[in-house]
Amino acid sequence: MRITTRIGVSSVLALAISAGAAFAENIKIAFIDPLSGPFASTGTNGLNQYEFAAQYLVNDKGGVLDGDMFEIVGFDNKISPKESLIQLQVAIDQGIRYIVQGNSSGVANALTEAIEKHNRRNPDSRVLFLNYSAVDPALTNDKCNFWHFRFDANADIKMDALTDVIAQSDDITKVYIIGQDYSFGKAVASAAVEMLGEKRPDIEIVGNELHPIGKVKDFTPYARKIVASEANAVITGNWGSDMLGLGKAVIENGYTGPIFNYYAGSDGITAAFGESGKGILMQVSEGKLNPPEEKALEYFTAFREKYPESDVSQPRITNVIEMLAKAIDQAGTADDVVAVANALEGMEHDSIWGGKVFIRPQDHQAIQDVHILAHTNEGVQIDLDNSEFGPVAVNTVEMAAMDSATTCKMKRP
Amino acid sequence: MDLVLVNLIDGLVTGLLLFMLSAGLTLIFSMMGVLNFAHASFYMLGAYFAYQISTYMGFWMGLLIAPIIVGIAGAGIERYGLRKVHQYGHVPELIFTFGLALLIEEVVQFIWGKSQMPYEPPEILQFTLFSISGNAIPAYKVFMIFVSIAIFLALLYVLTRTRVGMVIQAALSYPKTVEALGHNVPLVFMGVFGVGTALAGLAGVIAGPVLGTFPGMAFLLGSIVFVTIVIGGLGSLWGALVASLLIGWITTFAASYNVAMADVLIALGFEQPVDLSESAWRDLWSLTLPQIGPILPYLLMVLILVFRPYGLFGKRDV
């Protein structure tokens, strides 16, 4: 019934749009992320999610203001900061006012700096930077600025939520921390050590090590060390093949405790773990996929219909689109980004994935529920990799790190 | 002590896997003088083919069929590609194999995508065979050891005890003379290339389920295979075996023991600077053995090249 109504509504709308195409204007959003090279699958998947979210959540419902439509324009940055700045300039030259980017904090750092400079020098063509995935805490602390908004929980917030959950379970006494040898891996490790020390000083950290990123052929020796240390929890910030390799080796060699991770989902990883990761993989993330809210399930069903091979791997993308639409409506304009930014500041939004999202005015960090998601095939309605396996929320920290400190000193226009 | 035994087994698995790759490469290299950059790509093809076959016919058919397909593909590439390029000298051959490696990677991504493939060991081998003080040894690992040893023995038998093996060995050192004696050397080349790539494919078939089946798997193993054959000595099967095991054990043990450089330096009588962040040597002081583990084989290769340029078992210069 619902679906038929929606199809009816949207086809009527489609007619209305084509009739009014001559005067309705598109609000363009530049998607600057890797669309070629080794990270292309993540980038392309993200672009699909944006295009679908814009269509389904905004355009099909009549757009914003007086029927203006969202249009996502993809720009390939090859995950290079230098290339991103070129693409940013191209986007600005095309008159685009909204930039979304997520993969790699290195790129986000370059973009936020460039955008601040640009906005200072060109008050007539200012742009907003909506960061949906880059989790380096510095972006909303020392390097924060008025034009940058982060919709993902940053690495420290996630670790805060994760250590809250670990602190509550008494059977965890020994923790092994392992990560990739670069800035993010180090940030995860130091946050874990610091926060565990505060919340559960009795927990012994039996291992804290970094391995070369993308160079380890076989994780078995690391797995042996983890098993030999008698750890009953593992924390890792690994992603991609390093996550899969580490997880598989650890499970295969007799470890049965939880592996708390940031990125063990989608891009084939969920399917490759399959049955073996059940009850072991625990991902800390925003966006509760399972058990799904009614709206979320509808959204997912429609998404899979359009992109059968893609996942809703980054639920926060719907928040970006919906909140931007709301802010533009509130501001009454899409051209004056200062007004839109002011509307976004302090906005409270009911996410389709459940819970609220609140943009903290002092640092533009989205505060939201952070979940511990277990990898399983029981009670999964929204799966990943078409594998029947997916993340199910087992623990939720509501409005995680709501009153955490920030060093952000923002200059407002 | 128990951990030493476990590491010996793990290192053996890694080493034997490496051997299956390097055995084919060392024969191809010494016979044709071609540095086959695409060798690890055939390893990747083996894993992907086997995964695809296993979704229809199960793991065992994949194990049987995939290496044969890879071998035929390899022989075909030698016959219709490499042989044509051969007349222009070694540099074009090198560029040809390099291009081939890139091409195979792109084709794999085009067909199977960039994601990890859910390629699993067969159910019948998914159990823990035995444990050494809490460290599980999966049955599949023991299976890998047996397959590799069987391959080694079979190769050794063919190369040293059969007529074909004699011709190959002769063609390794004196190709012109062998040709003058009436043997079809190009056919021998094609056969060796085919068998070599089939071995690489087989390595991919059995390594795919444990090390992951993804487009980066060839790149991850590519360079270490060359290191192996240089250390072992070109054209020597025994050399390839010893070097593979050596590298397997070195990398496994290096990753297992957290020896810190600071301890070593203090033991040598150096004094640790009080404020490490200000010291010019802070990177050296904070190093640990697992961090430098992956470069140890390359270090070994440099030493071998300096002191024994023909490798451990090789008979002629590189």
What is the tens place of the pLDDT at every residue in B197-216?
A: 999 999 999 999 988 898 88
Cα four-point dihedral sign A121, A127, A130, A134: negative
Mutate to test the interface with A, among B7, B116, B252, B296 (most CBs of A within 10 A): B116
Nearest to A41 among B115, B211, B220 (CB): B115
Q: What pLDDT does residue A16 have?
A: 47
Closest CA in chain A for residue B217:
A217
Describe the crossing of helices B163-173 and B185-211 by its angle, rounded to 10 degrees.
100
User: To which residue do tokens 């989608």 refer?
Assistant: A266
Cα–Cα distance list, A42 to A215, A311, A314, A372, B217 (Å): 20, 10, 10, 22, 18
Q: How far is B26 from chain A (nearest CA, A)?
A: 21
The verdict on A65 touching B (C-beta cutoff 8 Å) is no
Task: List the beta bridge partners of residue A373.
Answer: A283, A393
Q: What pLDDT does residue A46 have?
A: 93
In this complex, do A272 and B131 lie within 8 Å of one another by their Cβ atoms? no
Collect contacts of A1-6 with beta carbons under 8 A, ≥24 apart.
A2/A298, A6/A60
Alpha helices in A150-307 (DSSP H): 155-168, 183-199, 220-228, 240-252, 269-273, 294-306
CA gap B218, B223 in Å, rounded: 9
Q: What pLDDT does residue B212 have?
A: 86
In this complex, do A244 and B115 lie within 8 Å of one another by their Cβ atoms? no
Q: What pLDDT does residue B258 have?
A: 81
Residues of A within 8 A of B40 (CB-CB) are: none
Judge contact between A175 and A166, C-beta under 8 A. yes
Per-residue pLDDT tens over the stretch B126-137: 888 888 877 888
In this complex, do B294 and A228 lie within 8 Å of one another by their Cβ atoms? no
Judge contact between B310 and B229, C-beta under 8 A. no
Q: What pLDDT does residue B168 have?
A: 86
Q: What pLDDT does residue A24 have?
A: 58
Name the band, by pLDDT with cuts 50, 70 and 90, for residue A20. Answer: very low
CA gap B283, B230 in Å, rounded: 30
Strands in chain B per DSSP E: 128-132, 135-138
In this complex, do A217 and B14 lie within 8 Å of one another by their Cβ atoms? yes
Does residue B109 register a pLDDT over 60? Answer: yes
Cα–Cα distance list, A57 to A71, A128, A313, A332 (Å): 12, 20, 17, 19
CA gap B221, B199 in Å, rounded: 15
Q: What pLDDT does residue A21 have?
A: 44
Closest CA in chain B for residue A386:
B118
Residues of A within 8 A of B219 (CB-CB) are: none
In this complex, do A210 and B138 lie within 8 Å of one another by their Cβ atoms? no
Describe the crossing of helices B59-77 and B39-57 by its angle, rounded to 10 degrees.
140
The secondary element (H helix, E strand) that includes residue A32 is: strand A26-33
CA gap B114, B108 in Å, rounded: 8
Q: What pLDDT does residue A41 have?
A: 79
Chain B residues whose C-beta sits inside 8 Å of any chain A C-beta: 3, 6-7, 10, 13-14, 113-120, 128, 131, 134-136, 138, 210-212, 214-216, 220-221, 224, 251-253, 255-256, 258, 288, 290-291, 294
Residues of B within 8 A of A257 (CB-CB) are: none
Paired tokens of B156: 């050794």
In this complex, do B211 and A209 lie within 8 Å of one another by their Cβ atoms? no
Strands in A84-157 per DSSP E: 98-101, 128-131, 148-150
Q: What pLDDT does residue B113 have?
A: 83
Cα–Cα distance list, A310 to A339, A386, B103 (Å): 35, 9, 25
In this complex, do A241 and B128 lie within 8 Å of one another by their Cβ atoms? no
Give the number of beta-carbon pairs within 8 Å between A and B: 112
Judge contact between B210 and A248, C-beta under 8 A. yes
Paired tokens of A10: 């949207």
Per-residue pLDDT tens over the stretch A278-325: 999 999 999 999 889 999 999 999 999 999 988 999 999 999 999 999
Describe the crossing of helices B2-32 and A220-228 by its angle, rounded to 10 degrees.
180
Residues of B within 8 A of A40 (CB-CB) are: 114
The verdict on A213 touching B (C-beta cutoff 8 Å) is no
Closest CA in chain B for residue A40:
B114
Q: What is the mean pLDDT of residues A348-372?
A: 94
Tell me the Ramachandran region of residue B176: left when phi exceeds 0, alpha when psi lies from -120 to 50, beta otherwise: alpha
Sheet containing A366-368: order of strands: A348-350, A356-359, A366-368
Does residue A146 register a pLDDT over 70? Answer: yes
Does residue A259 register a pLDDT over 90? Answer: yes
Per-residue pLDDT tens over the stretch A389-408: 999 999 999 999 888 889 99
Per-residue pLDDT tens over the stretch B252-302: 999 888 888 888 888 888 877 777 666 777 777 778 888 888 889 999 999
In this complex, do A268 and B6 lie within 8 Å of one another by their Cβ atoms? no
Q: How far is B136 from chain A (nearest CA, A)?
A: 5
Return the C-alpha torsion angle B297, B300, B302, B303, nearest 10: 180
Q: What pLDDT does residue A3 have?
A: 53
Q: How far is B130 from chain A (nearest CA, A)?
A: 11
Does residue B139 register a pLDDT over 60? Answer: yes
Q: Highest mean pLDDT range out of A261-265, A274-278, A322-326, B182-186?
A: A322-326
The verdict on A20 touching B (C-beta cutoff 8 Å) is no
Q: What is the mean pLDDT of residues A363-387?
A: 93
Q: What pLDDT does residue B318 have?
A: 44
Q: Which residue has the higher pLDDT, A234 or B233?
A: A234
Of how many residues is chain A composed? 413
CA gap A241, B47 in Å, rounded: 15
In this complex, do A220 and B288 lie within 8 Å of one another by their Cβ atoms? no
Does residue A4 register a pLDDT over 80? Answer: no
Task: List the beta bridge partners of residue A372.
Answer: A284, A395
CA gap B288, B202 in Å, rounded: 35
Cα–Cα distance list, B303 to A304, B298, B300, B306 (Å): 56, 9, 5, 5
In this complex, do A244 and B6 lie within 8 Å of one another by their Cβ atoms? no
Mutate to test the interface with B, among A182, A205, A215, A217 (most CBs of B within 10 A): A217
Residues contacting B180, CB < 8 A, separation 6+: none
HSE, CB side, 13 Å, CA atoms: give it for residue A210: 19
**Is the preceding omega at residue A291 within 30 degrees of 0, hence cis?**
yes
Does residue A359 register a pLDDT over 60? Answer: yes
Q: What is the mean pLDDT of residues B36-51?
A: 94
Q: What is the mean pLDDT of residues A1-9?
A: 52
In this complex, do B134 and A225 lie within 8 Å of one another by their Cβ atoms? no
CA gap A32, A43 in Å, rounded: 9
What is the pLDDT of chain A when averaged over all its residues? 90
Q: What pLDDT does residue A266 have?
A: 86
Per-residue pLDDT tens over the stretch B146-182: 999 999 999 999 988 999 888 888 887 787 888 899 8
Q: Which residue has the higher pLDDT, A16 or A218?
A: A218
Cα four-point dihedral sign A61, A64, A68, A71: negative
Q: Highest mean pLDDT range out of A155-164, A181-190, B176-185?
A: A155-164
Task: List the beta bridge partners of residue A234.
Answer: A176, A259
State the Cα angle at B65 between B61 and B68, rounded to 5°.
Answer: 160
Task: Look at strands A356-359 and B128-132 and give their pairing.
Answer: unpaired
Domains (ranges, CATH) in chain A?
Answer: 2-154+292-368 (3.40.50.2300), 156-290+370-397 (3.40.50.2300)
Q: What pLDDT does residue A204 have?
A: 94
Name the band, by pLDDT with cuts 50, 70 and 90, for residue A189. Answer: very high
Does residue A12 register a pLDDT over 70? Answer: no
Sheet containing A98-101: order of strands: A69-76, A26-33, A98-101, A128-131, A148-150
Q: Which residue has the higher pLDDT, B143 or B115?
A: B143
Q: Which of A29-38, A94-103, B172-181 has the lowest mean pLDDT?
A: B172-181
Judge contact between A344 and A149, C-beta under 8 A. yes
Task: Look at strands A174-180 and B128-132 and give their pairing.
Answer: unpaired
In this complex, do A272 and B224 lie within 8 Å of one another by their Cβ atoms? no
CA gap B310, A31 in Å, rounded: 54
Q: What is the mean pLDDT of residues A241-250?
A: 91
Q: What pLDDT does residue A7 have?
A: 54
Does residue A365 register a pLDDT over 50? Answer: yes
Q: Which residue has the higher pLDDT, A16 or B221?
A: B221
Q: What is the mean pLDDT of residues A216-241?
A: 90
Paired tokens of B209: 């389920």
In this complex, do A245 and B6 lie within 8 Å of one another by their Cβ atoms? no
Nearest to B116 among A214, A225, A241 (CB): A241
pLDDT > 90: what percent of chain B?
A: 47
Does residue A6 register a pLDDT over 70? Answer: no
Q: Highest mean pLDDT range out of A246-250, B85-89, B221-225?
A: A246-250
Cα four-point dihedral sign B132, B136, B140, B141: negative
Q: Which of A10-19, A40-49, A160-169 has the lowest mean pLDDT?
A: A10-19
Does residue B86 register a pLDDT over 60? Answer: yes
Does residue A1 register a pLDDT over 50? Answer: no
Q: What pLDDT does residue A328 have?
A: 95
Q: What pLDDT does residue A369 have?
A: 94
With 0-12 CB in 10 A as exposed, 13-18 as middle and 19+ as buried, what is A273? buried
Name the band, by pLDDT with cuts 50, 70 and 90, for residue A254. Answer: confident
Residues of B within 8 A of A228 (CB-CB) are: 3, 134-135
CA gap A154, A363 in Å, rounded: 12
